[in-house]
Amino acid sequence: MTKWGELWEKSLRDISVEAALKCLDDAGVDKVDSITVGTMSGGLFNAQEHLGSLVADYLGQRFVPATRVESACASGGLAVKNAYMEVASGLSQYALAVGVEKMTDVDGGDATFALATASDYDYEAFHGITFPGLYALMAVAHMKKYGTSLEQLAQVSVKNHHNGSLNPHAQFPCAVTLDQVMTSTMVADPMRLLHCSPITDGSAAVLLVPLTVAKKMNKPYAVITGIGHASDTIALCQRKDFAKLEVVEVAAQRALKMAGKTIRDIDFAEVHDCFSIAEIIVMEALGVVESGQGGPATVNGLTALDGDFPINPSGGLKSKGHPVGATGVAQVVEAVIQLRGQAGPRQIKNARTALTQNMGGSGASSIIHILEAR
């Protein structure tokens, strides 16, 4: 993956190709059979659609079939799934998945508009609510139902910024204190600025090949053994319980069943912490803890780097950044780095099995991958 942040000197195509070339160099491969590009909104952010062709062209892979896929902020996870299907079907031996978004080429209002298209525009964004507002509703519902506290929400950000401070690719590789989170600017009550993921430019890429090919490449690798994908209502108001994410529950059940695992077999997870409340609700939906226990578990250190179930060793979306189309691919990159034992000071001890959870909108879609070290 590229260094993430406000990359003023680089274009959408620049960062896409940079991540792809780093990936191919890591694998020792100079030609691919297919390319899948995950991007949420190249048109609104950069006035550039047709991203499959753009990436293939500037990567020097002329005539290679290239496809752009979109599932809002889960576009990167969908790109990895599509590359997996290319390999599993036999259509491709070397399938490249690239996730990319360049979000700073527009001002804050235009970025907010672009992101709002992932909601039910007619019934949500048109009436003024933004994603901080939607997740604030989820936070209030969770706090009322389970007694989750503001300090527990803030501890998610503190933990993830600590992890991100150890990640050289992170947009904000800096620690924050509980007091800094609790007193940061209010965005949508109770969501403050340091509860929210940032606007980010960035790209990430992974190469998928058949297991028989991987064994011959003399490179460290991980195996995708399970995939779960589900959709829910696009509008938050149409769900029975704002304090739950059933789409994550269903996707997790499918991925774990395919892998022949339970959540107790997973050593760590990269999850979609677009807002601090999201990590708490996601960990409950995955079955890491019971409903309502995500906040206390975070405060008690369960999800820390040295905890029993580390979550977001990369720093997550909160610290690493959230270039929406790239996030799901970068989660897989972190999982592979950890399973290779190459994560340096943020390395999870004895990591053998990982879960990545990527999500679109307020939980309208979710894609989960299970990866194992080999």
SS3 of 38, please? strand
In DSSP notation, 145-195 reads: HH---HHHHHHHHHHHHHHHTT-TT-SS-----HHHHHTSPEEETTEEGGG
How far, in Å, CA of 372 to CA of 303, rounded?
A: 20
Nearest residue to 220 (alpha-carbon basis) of 306, 345, 342, 97: 342
How far, in Å, CA of 224 to CA of 372, rounded?
A: 7
> For the stretch 77-93, what's the b/e string if a residue is b when 16 or more beta carbons lie within 10 angstroms of its beta carbon?
bbbbbbbbbbbeeeebe
In DSSP notation, 212-279 reads: HHHHHTTS--EEEEEEEEEE--SSGGGSS-TT--HHHHHHHHHHHHHHT--GGG--EEE---SBHHHH
User: What angle in degrees, to the nearest 10, is found between the helix axes of 276-286 and 246-259?
Assistant: 50
Catalytic residue among 73, 142, 161, 274: 73
Partners of residue 373 on adjacent β-strands: 222
Task: Using alpha carbons, list the distances in angstroms from residue 67 to 54, 97, 315, 357.
Answer: 10, 10, 29, 22
**Is 127 marked active-site?**
no
Catalytic residue among 142, 195, 322, 369: 322
Task: Give CA torsion, residues 293, 297, 299, 303, to 10 deg.
Answer: -140
**Is 274 marked active-site?**
no
Please give the backbone phi and psi of residue 124, each rounded to the nearest 5 degrees, phi first. Answer: -125, -75
What residues are annotated to the active site?
Answer: 73, 322
